[in-house]
Amino acid sequence: FTAQKKGKTKRKGYRLIYTVNYTDSLARIALFFRGVSARDIMRWNRLRRTRIYPKQKLVLYLKKEPKKVVTHIIKRGDTAKGIAQKYNVRVEYVLSLNGLLTDSRLNPGMKLKVYYF
């Protein structure tokens, strides 16, 4: 999930921009964001099919804002897996919420947002 432009909108809920990762499906994304269905995601993004692609941006409207958002500043040697373990979240979502597909683009000084839902 990429949380680029977010905040309250005319639609009910918290708007979040999610970047699709290689392992994602609409059902998997919906499962992670409780209270959101694959059908909702299709409607919000005007999708006719359930097929989604890596790097595709999806708009999600969550019923609640994240409980907590932590900013992690990348240090030399950091990996997405290590960051996910540190904050007890899934690797895919650390990457997707920050618009990344792999941790090969993690550079020292870069800021990643870690969302708790």
pLDDT tens profile 9-66: 457 789 999 999 988 999 999 988 888 999 999 999 999 999 999 999 999 999 888 8
Q: What is the pTM of this model?
A: 0.74
Q: Which CATH number among 3.40.50.2300, 3.10.350.10, 3.30.43.10, 3.90.1520.10 corresponds to the domain 7-62?
A: 3.10.350.10
Tokens 């432009």 -> residue: 5
The CA radius of gyration of the chain, in Å to the nearest whole number, is 14
In the chain, residues under CATH classification 3.10.350.10 are 7-62, 68-116
CATH of 68-116, one of 3.40.50.300, 1.10.1740.10, 3.30.70.2340, 3.10.350.10: 3.10.350.10
CB-facing half-sphere around the CA of 70: CA atoms within 13 A: 13
